[in-house]
């Protein structure tokens, strides 16, 4: 197989191996897709026998998994319309619906989707119809008309009272008018171009939704930080109050306890009820969530893991808190963590 090239702004050339490395494709997969893409124009040029890749520059920091996009292309006399929908899913699950004549292009469609999206259940539907503004593509079969008129003449000889065929009846007769047909090889460039545009629009729609989701998550992170800031100075005060209550109970019971042993028991109890570590881990996880949201990569799974850790720490904090204010703060933290979880489930 010869070299496939990708044209850069400086008209430099990359080998197929270089191209496959840039886009994470192995050699076997790259051999199936001979790609030539002109980056000097907004739309891909289809001078090749394969599928163009979505430019990774379309990605942004946060992207939702839900979105819809529609694009169309004219392959005279046919109009191609792609509709692409995506919803939440743990992995990338792609469904491609094509007319029977274009089923051979399904592999290329799936490959193009996988270069643009990392997660989500994606439904791609292609509809092919005749373009109303294009009057070509219809051919009158002269032989069929002559045969039909010859049959009419014979019928008239046998049944003189029979009425003649009208022009409309002749045109509606099967086989008289032949409409244009298409093949996958001739339609492939237009199919690929329209899918490229649809996926680009879908990625942009998912990015816009992702920005809103990221803003909502960051808002909850700020709320959790404020709660933690309010809880930190109360930790020592709560421990001291709990210690005083225990000493008062022992005094009411008139228990003659060894002061040193009592001090040891109180220290161990205070250690079991100490929530400083949970507070520190919560703060660390919140910072990690903010850091992940600033990265230019799929982040949904990692954020889902961090939310699980946040929820675990909030539950531990709530179970260990013996102070009313600290318990109330732990409950508020759990509410915010749950809100973050709901938003994160929509992120790619």
**Per-residue DSSP letters for 175-203?**
TTEEE----HHHHHHHHHHHHHHHHHHHH
Containing 81, the helix (H) or strand (E) segment is strand 78-87
Is residue 109 within 8 A of residue 96, CB to CB? The reply is: yes
The DSSP code for 36 is -
Q: What pLDDT was estimated at residue 37?
A: 31
Give just the sign of the alpha carbon dihedral 50, 118, 62, 73.
Answer: positive
User: Does residue 76 surpass a pLDDT of 70?
Assistant: yes
Q: Above 80 in pLDDT, residue 50?
A: no
**Mean local confidence (pLDDT), 146-158:** 80
pLDDT of 241 over the 60 cut: yes
| Structural contact between residues 174 and 191, judged by C-beta atoms closer than 8 angstroms | no
User: When comparing pLDDT for 296 and 50, which is higher?
Assistant: 296
Percent of the chain with pLDDT over 70: 66
Instruction: Give the pLDDT of residue 138.
Output: 60
Query: pLDDT tens-digit profile of 269-313?
Result: 666 667 788 889 999 999 999 999 888 888 889 999 999 999 999
Helices (H), the chain: 16-22, 27-31, 106-116, 142-158, 167-172, 184-252, 259-273, 276-293, 300-320, 324-344
Q: Has residue 14 got a pLDDT over 50?
A: no
Contact 145, 170 (CB under 8 A): yes
| Tokens (6 digits) for 22 | 């840039």
Rounded to 5 degrees, φ, ψ at 4 are -105, 140
Only one residue has tokens 């790619």, namely: 348
Is the pLDDT reported for residue 348 higher than 50? yes
Torsion of CA 302, 307, 308, 309, to 10 degrees: 90
Q: Is 131 left (phi over 0), alpha (psi -120 to 50) or beta?
A: beta
Residue 295, pLDDT score? 84
pLDDT tens profile 169-228: 777 777 766 566 666 778 889 999 999 999 999 999 999 999 999 999 999 999 999 999
Q: Which whole number is the average pLDDT over 6-34?
A: 33
Average pLDDT over residues 308-334: 87
Q: What is the pLDDT of residue 204?
A: 93
Of 72 and 239, which is predicted with more confidence? 72
| pLDDT tens-digit readout, 251-277 | 666 666 666 666 666 666 666 667 788
Confidence label for 1 from pLDDT (cuts 50, 70 and 90):
very low
Instruction: Say which residues have a Cβ less than 8 Å from residue 338's Cβ, sequence separation at least 6.
Output: 311
- Higher pLDDT residue, 160 or 306? 306
**Exposure of 237 in the CB half-sphere (CA atoms within 13 A):** 9
3-state secondary structure of 147: helix
Kindly report whether the global pTM for this prediction surpasses the value 0.75: no
């Amino acid at each position: 197989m010869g070299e496939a090239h990708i044209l850069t702004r400086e008209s430099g050339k990359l080998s197929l191996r270089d191209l496959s490395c840039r886009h994470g494709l192995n050699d076997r997969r790259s051999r199936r897709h001979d790609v030539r893409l002109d980056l000097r124009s907004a739309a891909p040029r289809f001078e090749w026998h394969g599928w163009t890749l979505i430019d990774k520059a379309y990605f942004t920091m946060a992207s939702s998994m839900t979105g819809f996009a529609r694009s169309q292309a004219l392959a005279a006399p046919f109009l191609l319309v792609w509709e692409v929908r995506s919803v939440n899913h743990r992995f990338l699950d792609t469904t491609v619906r094509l007319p029977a004549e274009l089923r051979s292009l399904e592999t290329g469609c799936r490959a193009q989707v996988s270069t643009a999206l990392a997660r989500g259940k994606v439904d791609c539907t292609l509809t092919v119809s005749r373009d109303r503004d294009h009057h070509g593509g219809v051919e009158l079969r002269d032989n069929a008309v002559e045969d039909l008129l010859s049959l009419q003449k014979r019928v008239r000889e046998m049944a003189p009272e029979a009425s003649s065929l009208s022009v409309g009846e002749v045109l509606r007769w099967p086989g008289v008018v032949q409409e244009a047909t298409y093949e996958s090889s001739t339609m492939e460039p237009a199919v690929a171009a329209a899918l490229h545009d649809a996926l680009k629009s879908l990625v942009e729609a998912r990015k816009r939704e992702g920005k809103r989701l990221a803003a909502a998550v960051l808002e909850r992170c700020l709320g959790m930080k404020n709660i933690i800031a309010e809880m930190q100075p109360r930790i020592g005060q709560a421990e001291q109050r709990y210690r005083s209550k225990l000493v008062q109970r022992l005094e009411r019971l008139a228990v003659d306890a060894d002061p040193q042993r009592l001090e040891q028991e109180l220290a161990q109890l205070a250690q079991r009820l100490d929530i400083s570590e949970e507070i520190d881990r919560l703060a660390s996880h919140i910072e990690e969530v903010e850091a992940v949201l600033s990265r230019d990569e799929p982040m949904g799974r990692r954020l889902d893991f961090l939310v699980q850790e946040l929820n675990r720490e909030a539950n531990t904090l709530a179970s260990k808190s013996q102070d009313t204010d600290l318990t109330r703060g732990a409950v508020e933290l759990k509410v915010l963590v749950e809100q973050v979880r709901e938003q994160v489930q929509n992120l790619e």
